[in-house]
A and B are shown apart, each in its own frame.
Chain A
Amino acid sequence: MTGRRDRLRGRIESLRLVAAGVVGLAVFALAWEALVRILDVRPFVLRAPSKIVPEIFDDPRFFLDHTLTTGRHALVGILIALVCALVIGAVLATSRFLEHASQPVLTLILVTPWVAYINSVVIWLDSGTPPVLFMVAFVSFPAFTFGTVAGLRSADPSARELLASVEASRLEVLWRLRLPSALPSLFTAARFNIGLGLAAAYFTEGAALSPAGLGWVGRRAIAFNNGDLLWAAILCTAVLGVIGLTLVTLLERLLLGWHVSQR
């Protein structure tokens, strides 16, 4: 009886939080609309929501296709980065020397303004999907690697000794202890990489000369001085980011129910 009441209370609390988010977004949209109208902002600088939303609904298929393309680019690129980071991070976590040797390189990738060398990557990998995937994976890789190394190292030393006392293999320790210990920091990196990966996908699509993705739509809007189209592409990218973060949050709740951050 108490359990059912607690679950009901939990659901009401969740609904209350969702409602609070919706109210926050509505207030933001209203303030945005009012600001554009009152200050009479030029179309290319900022469009009001009342102009952007109809632009999308004029040709929903067009925006859906390009949104799905950008979403696919970001997802695949981020997954490639995650797999590479897990493999390389697992190697780096075995040696302090290797970890320190890799730090400057990873930091350099992280802090270098990647927008500046997108065109070089496009020339190198040609137009189309490859440079987009490369850029998304490349910029997402350092955060995942840092997260992997820190997470693998954070495994409880007593639990490591315990497994050592029965001669568990390296692979068993990795799978049963170190990887689950790394999950919290990997989720933190994933949140960071959603925004970064989407931005990389958007800018590289714009530079990759292939007619696909919201970045290409945005680039075309700039070329044709079309403010409504540009801001519609920006809004679709933002929606993709929100969907990505929501999925990460749901996955986190599913996999990290045991972690202190989820209680």
Chain B
Amino acid sequence: MTAVIRLDQVAKSFGDLDALAPIDLEVGAGEVVTLLGPSGCGKTTLLRMVAGLEPPSSGTITVGDTTPSLARATKVIGLVPQTPALLPWRTVEANARLLLDVNRGANPTPVPDHVDLLRQVGLGDFLQAHPHELSGGMQQRVALVRAFALGSSILLMDEPFASLDEITRADMRHLLGRLCEQTGAAVLFVTHSIAESVFLSDRVVVLSQRPGRMVGSVPIDLPRPRLPAIEDDAAFFEHETRLRALLHEGAGRTGTST
């Protein structure tokens, strides 16, 4: 599989504080890789470096076949931040096309139909609504559509469902799973939810506590397309148990229960 994101010995420190130990990582075309780890382990820092929003202290990052900053300029990356970051004065429809409205010269041809995407995620009746009229889950759906509307081959998602309740969160990961399978984009997904990582990923990379280092890389061999019912499968639980054990190992603990 061709790597569309490649990290070679990438490390990050802020002054005297080591945030991320040297790390090697590859994400192939169409592959969904999740970074799983405790809060403060450097997952978001790593994602921001791939997005070209933060320079690494050492090592090299390749996105597509170029640098992160050139990838930004050519709108190769679709970013979904932790908060929906919707502009409150824009309607749902206008928010969904926000990234298409700037740096227009780098827009893909043809431009994906963002209204159709909004309809697909169940927001067809809310095109002219403003963000304050939507629930948290609906706002996050707009944020997902905004990233997918770029038609990017690379999606970076930073704990997009962290602030949602458990039921909405489950709905959102099922929706995201569907969208990812449809588009075939390479996805680097950050979370500290084990269930989310198993459901969505082809591979889960577990990071230790700060400074984040790779504790393990676990392939998730569950069949695709993945339906919500797969979360009741014994194989799903096995993956969860294994990842939980790795997380404890990364935290320097030996038990498997919290």
Cross-chain contact of A258 among B73, B88, B98, B106 (Cβ < 8 A): B88
**Which residue of chain B lies nearest to A157 when distances are taken between CB atoms in the complex?**
B85
**Alpha-carbon separation in the docked complex, A159 to B139 (Å):** 14
Q: Report the separation of the CA atoms of residues A152 and B208 in the bound assembly, to the nearest whole angstrom.
A: 38
Q: Mask for A124-161, Cβ within 8 A of B = 1, else 0?
A: 00000000000000000000000000000000101101
A176/B106 in contact, CB under 8 A = no
The docked-state distance in angstroms from the alpha carbon of A127 to that of B77 is 61
Partner among B83, B102, B131, B156 whose Cβ is within 8 Å of the Cβ of A158: B83
Check if A163 sits within 8 Å of B132, measured CB to CB.
no
Can you give 13 A-B contacts (C-beta < 8 A)?
A: A158-B83, A158-B85, A159-B85, A162-B99, A164-B53, A165-B53, A165-B79, A166-B103, A166-B150, A168-B103, A173-B102, A176-B102, A259-B88
Considering residues A156, A165, A173, A260, which has the most beta carbons from chain B within 10 angstroms of its beta carbon?
A165
Of the candidates A158, A161, A167, A257, the one having the most CB atoms from chain B within 10 angstroms of its own CB is A167
In the assembled complex, the Cα of A161 lies from the Cα of B88 at a distance in Å of 16
Q: Are B81 and A161 in contact (CB under 8 A)?
A: yes
Beyond A156-B85, A166-B75, list 4 extra A-B contacts (CB 8 Å).
A158-B83, A162-B99, A163-B99, A166-B77
| Chain B interface extent, by class | 20 to 34
A169 contacts which of B52, B79, B81, B102 (Cβ < 8 Å)? B102
Q: Is the CB of A167 within 8 A of B75?
A: yes
Classify chain A: how many residues form its interface, as a range: 20 to 34
Contact with A167, one of B82, B83, B106 (Cβ below 8 angstroms) = B106
A residues within 8 A CB of B48?
161
Residues of chain B contacted by A42 (CB below 8 angstroms): none
B residues with CB within 8 A of A: 48, 51-53, 72-73, 75, 77, 79, 81-83, 85, 87-89, 98-99, 101-103, 106, 130-132, 150, 156
Contact of A180 among B82, B89, B106 (CB under 8 A): B89
A161: chain B residues within 8 A (beta carbon): 48, 53, 79, 81, 85
A263 within 8 A of B: yes
Q: Which residue of B lies closest to A177 (CB)?
A: B87
Q: Which residues of A contact B83 (CB under 8 A)?
A: 156, 158
**How distant is A6 from chain B, measured CB to nearest CB, in Å?**
14
The dominant DSSP class at the A interface is helix
Minimum distance in angstroms from B50 CB to a CB of chain A? 10
* B72 partner, pick from A156, A159, A166, A169, beta carbons under 8 A: A166
- CB pair A258–B130 under 8 Å, yes or no, is yes
**Chain B min CB distance to A243 (Å):** 27
Residues of the A chain whose Cβ atoms lie less than 8 Å from the Cβ of B81? 158, 161-162
Residue on B nearest A171 in the bound complex, by CB: B102
Chain B residue with Cβ nearest A255? B89
B87 touches A180 (CB 8 A): yes
Please indicate the chain B residues that have their CB under 8 angstroms from the CB of A173 in the complex. Answer: 102
The answer to whether A167 touches B73 (Cβ under 8 A) is: yes
Quick check: is A172 within 8 A (CB to CB) of the other chain?
yes
CA gap between A161 and B106 in the complex, in Å: 18
A173 vs B102: C-alpha distance when bound (angstroms) = 9
- CB-CB under 8 A from B53, the residues of chain A are 161, 164-165
Q: Which residue of A lies closest to B104 (CB)?
A: A172
Known: A165-B51, A166-B75, A167-B72. A176 touches B98 (CB 8 A): yes
Whole-angstrom CA separation of A156 from B99 in the bound complex: 15
